[in-house]
Amino acid sequence: MLLFFDVEWGEIMSENILEIRNLTKEYPGVIALNDVSFDIRKNTVHCLVGENGAGKSTLIKVITGAIQRTKGEILLNGKEYHAANSNEARVKGVSTLFQELNVVDQLTVEENLTLGVEETKFGFIKNTEKNAQVIKTLKSLDPSIDPKQSVSSLCVAKKQIVEIAKAVSSNADVIIMDEPTASLSETEIQKLFGIVKDLRKNNVTVIYISHRLDEIFELADDVTVMRDGRHIETKPITEVKDRVELIRMMIGKTIYEAYIPPEVKPEENILQVENVSNKKLKNISFNVKKGEIVGFYGLIGAGKTEIARAIYGEDPFHGTITFEGKPFHPTPHKAIKAGVALVPEERRTQGLFTMLTIRSNVPVMSMNKVATMGFLNIAQEKAATKKYIDALNIVTHSMEKEVAKLSGGNQQKIVFAKSLFSDADLLMLDEPTRGIDVGAKSEIYTIIRNLRKEGKSVMIFSSELTEIVNMCDRIYLLYDGELCTCIENGGDIDTQQIIHIVTGGE
């Protein structure tokens, strides 16, 4: 009897390849993963869905060892699993296909496949059984790829196939795919789906992350929904009625912080964009009025940043942009002079001079305001910096502190201070609150609303729906480089409808 029990128990154990128990990841001020527990069944395609910032990527990063958990445990085949880095994860049987390609363009396909696993003799690379095995895998996936060919000559989809071949041949039990279809065409996507289904047949478990909900219904055996760093539900896809139900699970009953309409109704146009197209954008037309907050929402890669870049003169485009009634042919320099300022997506790499002091960072966008005849007026510079430290509530004991030493929220406020100091009439905010804590977030929202009160115009490009719905007077929705629709915010926005549109629904 006891023996029977044991066998039974063993079988139950082995049915789940991964068991996640009370997994938590905390950052200072932010809980990215909050007590997440769920199981992933063996030989299934397990889809992970949730809004941006729901915690999917954090979970994947913990599993692959890119970051370390705060607490909780992960069991792989019933045994405690811990990876210090992605290489260790691979050795233990967990391979990952990252959103960004990890192939080395300068090497050949074969060299890429054996990179990191090559065996050497006297420092020379040996031609081993293993190599033959990898190439065989590749051939079975796509016979048209020549192993001797340079990777740079392959298209994105084929590069991805090379990566898949590498992941598969490493004898992985689990392959994680993070938005693998983001850069693929329709036919390539179908090919990838075929590969995923084959993998399942060959006793590999696939964890599949995608924003495109149709893919989930096509591929998934099970689906796990995450929201705000929490696990919401895991169930077989057959038990999910339709995408509306899935979307409801993703959004939940989140009560949005109330939207506050402007005191004066905006009338006069400040920016008019007509038929702007380039590599990423298709026929974009919209307008922004004085004293208005306009939001742009879409998934990653939908073209939000590209709109900001075009207006700021960073990317070339066809079409016309009119700013304050005049045609606008911008470079960043001219844009700032005309009264447009950008708060870029990545504050550390695009917005700040982290090794310089707060005082040196604040005036950079209009140095002539703190200088006479090319000579700096340090007193004016200090006064301006002091003004913004107070106005934006930047926490620091000295303005001579290097920006690198500040917290994310305070750093973001410095980027804001920079743009505000330039006296811009139109501010473009690209992901204005990414990676900062709740307190700083709400402070930044207050700053934005005050700008509107002063009659300035604000464009918010965000992948955080809550932010868009709370802040914006009008919302443009983007999908795949196109503006789908414009929604007036009356305080009763149907977020399910928004998600439906930006995930490619009609």
Partner 1 sequence: MGKQKKKLLVALSDELFIILFMTGVLLVLFGIACIAVPNFACKSNILALLTNNWYLVLLGIGTTFIVKTGNMDMSLGGIVAMAGVLVAFFCQGTDATRTLDIGLGLSFFPAALLAILCCMVIGLINAFFIARLKVASLIITLGTGFLARGIAQIIARGAQRSTNLDDSFGLVGKMYVQFGNTSIKLSVIIMLVILIIFYIIEKKTVFGRTTYYVGANAKAAKLSGIKADRHLGTLFLINSVLAAIVGIVLASEFLAGYSTRGKGFEFDALCVTLLGGTSVAGGFGSVLGAFIGTMTFSIVTNAAGGMLLSPDWTFILKGVVTFLAIVAQRYALDKRKA
x/- contact string, 398-417, with partner 1 (CB under 8 A)? --x-x---------------
x/- contact string, 330-359, with partner 1 (CB under 8 A)? --xx-xxx----x-x----xxxxxxxxx--
What is the nearest approach in angstroms of partner 1 to the Cβ of residue 415?
9
Q: Which is nearer to partner 1, 411 or 470 (CB)?
A: 411
Choices 222-230, 242-250, 369-377, 385-393; region in contact with partner 1 by CB under 8 A: 369-377
What is the nearest approach in angstroms of partner 1 to the Cβ of residue 428?
11
What is the nearest approach in angstroms of partner 1 to the Cβ of residue 375?
5
422: contact with partner 1 by CB under 8 A: yes
Distance CA 298, CA 361 (A): 31
Check if the beta carbon of residue 27 is closer than 8 Å to that of residue 15.
no
Residue with tokens 């305070």: 410
What is the nearest approach in angstroms of partner 1 to the Cβ of residue 332?
5
Find the length of the chain. 506
Smallest CA-to-CA distance from 425 within 448, 456, 458 is with 456
Q: Which is nearer to partner 1, 66 or 338 (CB)?
A: 338
Give the binding-site size for partner 1 (rule: CB under 8 A): 32
Choices 35-43, 368-376, 439-447, 448-456; region in contact with partner 1 by CB under 8 A: 368-376
Q: Which is nearer to partner 1, 70 or 360 (CB)?
A: 360
Tell me which residues in 305-334 interact with partner 1 (CB under 8 A). 312, 314, 332-333
* Residues whose CB is less than 8 angstroms from the CB of residue 390 and which lie 6 or more positions away in sequence, other chains included: none
Choices 108-116, 128-136, 224-232, 360-368; region in contact with partner 1 by CB under 8 A: 360-368
Distance CA 153, CA 356 (A): 42
Q: Half-sphere exposure of 8 toward its Cβ, with a 13 Å CA cutoff?
A: 5
What is the nearest approach in angstroms of partner 1 to the Cβ of residue 407?
17
The DSSP annotation for 277-319 comes to E-SS--SEEEEEETT-EEEEE--TTSSHHHHHHHHTTSS--EE
Among the listed residues 278, 360, 496, 497, the single contact to partner 1 using CB under 8 A: 360
What is the nearest approach in angstroms of partner 1 to the Cβ of residue 178?
26
Q: CA of 254: how far to CAs of 230, 251, 283, in Å?
A: 13, 7, 34
Distance CA 95, CA 91 (A): 8
Could you give phi then psi for residue 296, rounded to 5 degrees? -125, 120
Among the listed residues 368, 390, 490, 492, the single contact to partner 1 using CB under 8 A: 368
Among the listed residues 418, 434, 441, 452, the single contact to partner 1 using CB under 8 A: 418
Tell me which residues in 471-500 interact with partner 1 (CB under 8 A). none
Check if the beta carbon of residue 297 is closer than 8 Å to that of residue 337.
no
What is the nearest approach in angstroms of partner 1 to the Cβ of residue 337?
7
What is the nearest approach in angstroms of partner 1 to the Cβ of residue 330?
10
Q: Which is nearer to partner 1, 149 or 407 (CB)?
A: 407
CA 78-81-86 angle, 5° bins: 140
What is the nearest approach in angstroms of partner 1 to the Cβ of residue 505?
35
Q: Which is nearer to partner 1, 165 or 370 (CB)?
A: 370
Q: Which is nearer to partner 1, 123 or 374 (CB)?
A: 374
Could you give phi then psi for residue 401, rounded to 5 degrees? -80, 140
Could you give phi then psi for residue 280, rounded to 5 degrees? -110, -25
Gyration radius (Cα) of the chain, Å? 26
Residue with tokens 């339709």: 242
Check if the beta carbon of residue 300 is closer than 8 Å to that of residue 294.
no
What is the nearest approach in angstroms of partner 1 to the Cβ of residue 350?
5
Among the listed residues 123, 143, 374, 490, the single contact to partner 1 using CB under 8 A: 374
Q: Which is nearer to partner 1, 144 or 349 (CB)?
A: 349
Among the listed residues 376, 383, 395, 486, the single contact to partner 1 using CB under 8 A: 376
| Helix/strand/coil (H/E/C) assignment for every residue in 104-156 | CCCCEHHHHHHCCCCCEECCEECCCHHHHHHHHHHHHHCCCCCCCCEHHHCCH
Q: Which is nearer to partner 1, 125 or 383 (CB)?
A: 383
Check if the beta carbon of residue 311 is closer than 8 Å to that of residue 304.
no
What is the nearest approach in angstroms of partner 1 to the Cβ of residue 368?
8
> Would you tell me which residues interact with partner 1 (CB under 8 A)?
312, 314, 332-333, 335-337, 342, 344, 349-357, 360, 364-368, 371, 374-376, 400, 402, 418, 422
